[in-house]
Amino acid sequence: MVKVIVVGGVAGGMSAATRLRRMEEHAEIVVLERGPHVSYANCGLPYHVGGVIPERADLLLQTPESLRARFRLDVRVRHEVLGIDRGARTVRIRDLDTGRTYTEDYDHLVLSPGAEPAVPPLPGAERGLTLRDVTDTDRILDAVRAGARSAVVVGGGFIGVELAENLRRRGLAVTLVELADHVLSPLDPEMARPLADELARGGVELRLSAQLHKVLPDTVELADGTVVPADIVVFAIGVRPDTALARAACLEIGPCGGIAVDDQQRTSDPRVFAVGDAAEKRDRLTGDGTLVPLANLANRHGRLVADAIAGRPVRSRPVVGTVIVKVFGLTAAATGWNEKRLRAAGRPHRVVHIHPASHAGYYPGARPLALKLLTDPADERILGAQVVGGEGVDKRIDVLATAITCGLTAPDLADLQLAYAPPFGSAKDPVNMLGYVTDNLAGGTTATVQWHELDQAVHDGSVLVDVRTRAEHEAGGIPGSLHVPVDELRDRLDEIPLDRPTVVYCHAGLRGHTAARILTQHGRNVRNLDGGWLTWQAGRAPQPAW
Amino acid sequence: MVKVIVVGGVAGGMSAATRLRRMEEHAEIVVLERGPHVSYANCGLPYHVGGVIPERADLLLQTPESLRARFRLDVRVRHEVLGIDRGARTVRIRDLDTGRTYTEDYDHLVLSPGAEPAVPPLPGAERGLTLRDVTDTDRILDAVRAGARSAVVVGGGFIGVELAENLRRRGLAVTLVELADHVLSPLDPEMARPLADELARGGVELRLSAQLHKVLPDTVELADGTVVPADIVVFAIGVRPDTALARAACLEIGPCGGIAVDDQQRTSDPRVFAVGDAAEKRDRLTGDGTLVPLANLANRHGRLVADAIAGRPVRSRPVVGTVIVKVFGLTAAATGWNEKRLRAAGRPHRVVHIHPASHAGYYPGARPLALKLLTDPADERILGAQVVGGEGVDKRIDVLATAITCGLTAPDLADLQLAYAPPFGSAKDPVNMLGYVTDNLAGGTTATVQWHELDQAVHDGSVLVDVRTRAEHEAGGIPGSLHVPVDELRDRLDEIPLDRPTVVYCHAGLRGHTAARILTQHGRNVRNLDGGWLTWQAGRAPQPAW
């Protein structure tokens, strides 16, 4: 009878164990979990802090007893694996309640130890909390119930932002401290800007480009000397793969510091598999190792390991990396690579920004969306996408993630036959529009200038023309622009010089495109400001200051 | 200077005209529209009937004046094209206001005449209304404002269902009469069932398998003799391509009765293009001609014609056919082929039904979804999909439509990296689950029986085992089933005969799968009831009767 030991009883480990039972009714399957809970709702923890998920019990999806009844799993909580003897195929285990240590042998070992929240080596940091498991949630809630009035969340990533929102919901004065100049690093700065505004509207005090200096008893001090009240301090600055066991067992570690695995999630020891946040993934674009701590990948790979152990011919796919987060009334999502990463890697890329409505504008409730698409100008393959808005964000990012996985080009997006009725979309869906715009760029029908390139264009002698309406122009425009509404352009052509390059702009880029086409065909050398005033403003305006 | 005449100023025609202007600033572009409006919100008409879109003006997205200002289009409303002289390249036109007839020549002609609502040749049918344009909407609203208290909508397709809901919103007693045994023919009957229930909950009196016999002054009479009050009668039994002009000009008509076009939307005359509901499409699965009257295809093809005229190397793609409709608080959507059509065509197909939650169950607001996937058992390519539920329906159908377009297999769905956070989905998204289930079927890990095959299976000697909890079983099950909860199965194996085939079922199919795996590995010949009790009940239970 084959015997499998699984280390870690949450997403990846438990997916492996339950799938393995379905494949191998007669295997012996032991799950060892250091903490007191298995199969808890990891991604729900911030929402229990805020009371959105009111019952703690709702976080606990399974118990050792329910897993024994359904899957005949031998689940041992508060059992820590101390070491692996790969030669003898045994693990050394300590029962944390009794202190007893003992040994179990295995035919296959599955490591799913997860990742540990990073804690900065700063004075006073030891009073800082983190959010990894149900026990951490209890600690934060205990502090809230004990009367905490203020919280500092360090790190404006997904967990930090979710936690800031949920602590606000509990009535605390919340300050979010982020080292970078924008929150949510999977987004580029101009896409993250609306989220900063939304956090501010939600009452979160946002400190961008701010470094934590030290943690004091009731406050924290930032590098610029500011002191911020902080009855609670939570670190959400990222996670590190928990590789202690793997390193001690001399398993190969990948270039990013995760456990190295092949496309069956096998480590350098074929009897040992690794899944979840501790294991390295393979990036779809480069094939290189990467760390992508996402629950769905952990689940997927856990199942895959079970199939591999059962002898099925399975292979894991490279990772696109699709993420989403709710920030009060907005949603932000990203898939693939962002512009920062493409630039840092020196990869050529084409950028498109659009600002369509979430559904037909004439049907009530439509809200603006911002979409950004990054493509390879050599072949127009999609490299990445970002979507921010109030509804329909998840739909568009999922379609775009699917398109990346399938290797679609951006112009192919124009031909996707997406479901349309007025409550759900537009006859030309935002995703189709990304295809149309890229097609125009790729075919040379139009040329654009990016928000961060505009100063240089003007410096180099471009004339800047605002083609919006008079009312829009008077409400505010880009300094130094001529104003000729698109609908008057043909009658006022002589106002646009023939001998200088022109940049046109409108609110979102659509009228600018029409204006650019008119002027181009009247002999001007024209570029359209990509994403219009909206993208320029989001990229250029200072982040909200406090 | 090239001169292009566009016949029909709504979706396809106006997309062609505006795109052509952007491509060809110096072309002469004349748009001839028989009705009084261009570029109106076709798909919004039912919602204006219900007051959801309160302002009639909101339906009118453009006017001839706005189109002249922005695009220098020569738009002539209430101008009817009487005939085409293809040899002379002219069209004969009547100004419906003055009665004047005149001729315009063209270099290229674009036909976008749309489709006409069918009206049955029944006594009294002449008082029946239809819903094609803004004028039709006015007529229905005039009747409502004149005091109509009751309405009969004939035809339970998308427009019929939308209209029934919106007439209820106006307070009318609404009866929906449908010839088939279920509403929304793009869905299969077991998927359409929740929509019938929702219509009933919304107060619509639904008459299925009912034929209209005659229209009387204040009522209609059905074939079974029932008389139904009907101050208003609206026919929504389908549309017919408006091919009168094309036929008179001896342009080739396709096998389905639409204007035949090539993959540049060119008719049998290379100077004449056709787009929109009047033109035939090419089905993605068979390559055959098909009629798919959808606004997004009309828009797409209109733009494509402009590119073709401008000399760009464009090709239209075959049609998947993705549809969606809101029915009170539910949404129904479909893409590709349904099971009825596959059966009628004699194409082998594999069926999967699942009933997951729209997002993580522990996060508030999750609602049940029903998904159906149809695949080719030879290669597991996706042939079609249907999704019904309260939220997240549009997202899943769009991902599935994209998957079909890309030629993904169903098991590939397991590897789609869709965005997950608790408010938006699950770590294993419903689309991933479809992949997992099909993978299990394709690999022989599990076998299923469909809801309509169960009687035969029992007749042939299968033992039926309900593996749900005692409470679920006592609340109602499939007659004649043994009851052994999945968690007790291993301890009560001797109750499951070794010498007879077994069918297991649970609520939605998930526990049934686990039970089937246990029993299979204990020597039984087992199939799981696909989609469980929910699908069986939806397929088997009588439709709501009145």
What is the DSSP track for B63-110?
-HHHHHHHH--EEEETEEEEEEETTTTEEEEEETTT--EEEEE-SEEE
The helix or strand, by DSSP H or E, that contains position A74, with its residue range, turns out to be strand A74-77
Q: Indicate the angle between helix axes B532-540 and B189-201, nearest 10 degrees.
A: 80
> What token pair was written down for B39?
């570029």
Crossing angle of helices B11-23/B64-71, nearest 10°? 20
| pLDDT score of B543 more than 70 | no
Equal CATH topology for A125-234 and A329-442 = yes
Report the 10 Å Cβ neighbour count for B321: 24
The domain defined by B3-114+240-309 folds into FAD/NAD(P)-binding domain (3.50.50)
DSSP symbols for A291-327: ----HHHHHHHHHHHHHHHTT----PPPB--EEEEEE
Residue reference for tokens 């009312």 = A471
Residues in chain B: 546
Q: What is the CA radius of gyration of chain A?
A: 26
- Written as six digits, the tokens of A359 are 């559904």
At the topology level, CATH places domain A125-234 in: FAD/NAD(P)-binding domain (3.50.50)
Q: What is the pTM of this model?
A: 0.97
Q: CATH 3.40.250.10: does it fit domain B448-540? A: yes
* Boundaries of every domain in chain A: 3-115+240-309, 125-234, 329-442, 448-540
Q: How far is CA A16 from CA A123, A308, B47, B413, B442, in A?
A: 41, 10, 49, 19, 20
Q: Each residue of B16-27: pLDDT tens digit?
A: 999 999 999 999
CB count within 10 Å of CB B373 equals 27
Q: For tokens 């040329």, what's the residue?
A: A447
Q: Residue range A217-221: average pLDDT?
A: 97
Q: Looking at the predicted structure, is the pLDDT value of residue B546 above 90?
A: no
Query: Coil, helix or strand for A483?
Result: strand
Query: Using an 8 Å Cβ cutoff, are A381 and A463 in contact?
Result: no
Give B312 to chain A, closest Cα distance, Å.
9
What pLDDT band is residue B1 in, cutting at 50, 70 and 90? confident
Residue of B402, B468, B486, B517 to mutate for A, most A C-beta atoms under 10 A: B402
Which tens digits make up the pLDDT trace of A78-124? 999 999 999 999 999 999 999 999 999 999 999 999 999 999 999 99
Which of A398, A440, A445 best tests the B interface by mutation, with the highest count of B CBs <10 A? Answer: A398
Contact A273, A266 (CB under 8 A): yes
Mutate to test the interface with A, among B283, B362, B488 (most CBs of A within 10 A): B362
Size of chain A in residues = 546
> Which helix (H) or strand (E) is A176 found in, with range?
strand A173-177
Comparing B90-99, B334-343, B344-353, B537-546, the range with the smallest average pLDDT is B537-546
Q: Half-sphere exposure (CA, 13 Å, Cβ side) for A392?
A: 26
Over residues A316-329, the pLDDT tens digits come to 999 999 999 999 99
The class (CATH top level) of A3-115+240-309 is alpha beta
Q: What is the pLDDT of residues B419-446, one digit of tens each?
A: 999 999 999 999 999 999 999 999 999 9
Q: What is the pLDDT of residue B545?
A: 42
Residues of A in contact with B522 (CB under 8 A): 25
- The C-alpha of A517 sits at a distance from chain B's nearest C-alpha, in angstroms, of 6
Residue A137 has pLDDT above 80, yes or no: yes
pLDDT recorded at residue A541? 66
According to the model, what pLDDT value does residue B540 have? 85
User: Taking a C-beta distance cutoff of 8 angstroms, is the pair B79, B34 a contact?
Assistant: yes
Say which residue the tokens 């090539």 belong to: B262
Q: Stretch A230-241: mean pLDDT, rounded?
A: 97
Dist. CA B392–CA B424, nearest whole Å: 8
Residue A542: per-residue pLDDT = 59
- Strands (E) across A97-158 are located at 101-105, 108-111, 115-117, 150-154
Check residue A545 and give its pLDDT: 42
Residue A259 contacts residue A278 (beta carbons within 8 Å): yes
Q: How is residue B457 annotated by DSSP?
A: H
Which residue in A269, A297, A270 sits closest to A281, CA to CA? A297
Q: Find the DSSP H helices in A61-157.
A: 64-71, 134-145
Fold of B329-442: FAD/NAD(P)-binding domain (3.50.50)
The string of DSSP letters for B309-351 reads HTT----PPPB--EEEEEETTEEEEEEE--HHHHHHTT---EE
- B424-442 in b/e form (b: 16+ CB < 10 A) is bbbbbbbbbbbbbbbbbbb
- Structural contact between residues B335 and B404, judged by C-beta atoms closer than 8 angstroms: yes
Please, which residues have CB within 8 angstroms of residue B66's CB and are 6 or more apart in sequence? Answer: none
The structure tokens 């499409």 sit at: B281
Chain B residues closer than 8 Å to A420 by CB: 43, 294-296, 322, 324
CA distances (Å), B254 to each of B171, B248, B297, B431, in order? 43, 15, 18, 36
Residue-wise pLDDT tens digits, B64-104: 999 999 999 999 999 999 999 999 999 999 999 999 999 99
State mean pLDDT over A68-77: 98
CATH of domain B125-237: 3.50.50.60
Contact B419 A363 (CB under 8 A): no
Cβ A417 vs Cβ B321: under 8 Å: yes
Percent above pLDDT 70 for chain A: 99
Residue A546 has pLDDT above 70, yes or no: no
Query: To 5 degrees, how large is the angle CA A321–CA A323–CA A329?
Result: 165
Q: Report the C-alpha gap between B434 and B397 in whole angstroms.
A: 12
Rounded CA gap, A468 and A533, in Å?
10
Any chain A CB within 8 A of the CB of B403?
Answer: yes
Question: Is A419 within 8 Å of B335 when comparing Cβ atoms?
Answer: yes
**B432 and A395 in contact by Cβ < 8 A?**
no
Question: How far away is chain A from the Cα of B229, in angstroms, using its nearest Cα?
Answer: 30
Residue A58 to residue B321, Cβ atoms within 8 A = no
Q: Do A398 and B398 touch (CB under 8 A)?
A: yes
Q: A525: which DSSP letter?
A: -
The tokens for B464 are 């039926």
The predicted-structure confidence for A414-447, as pLDDT tens digits, reads as follows 999 999 999 999 999 999 999 999 999 999 999 9
In this prediction, residue B542 has a pLDDT band, given cuts at 50, 70 and 90, of: low
Asked whether this complex has an ipTM greater than 0.95, the answer is yes
DSSP B446: -
- Integer angstrom CA distances of residue A124 from A205, A232, A526, B95, B432: 22, 12, 57, 84, 45
Q: Is B43 a catalytic residue?
A: yes
Name the catalytic one among A43, A256, A406, A506.
A43
Helix, strand and coil content of chain A, in percent to the nearest 5, comes to: 35, 25, 40
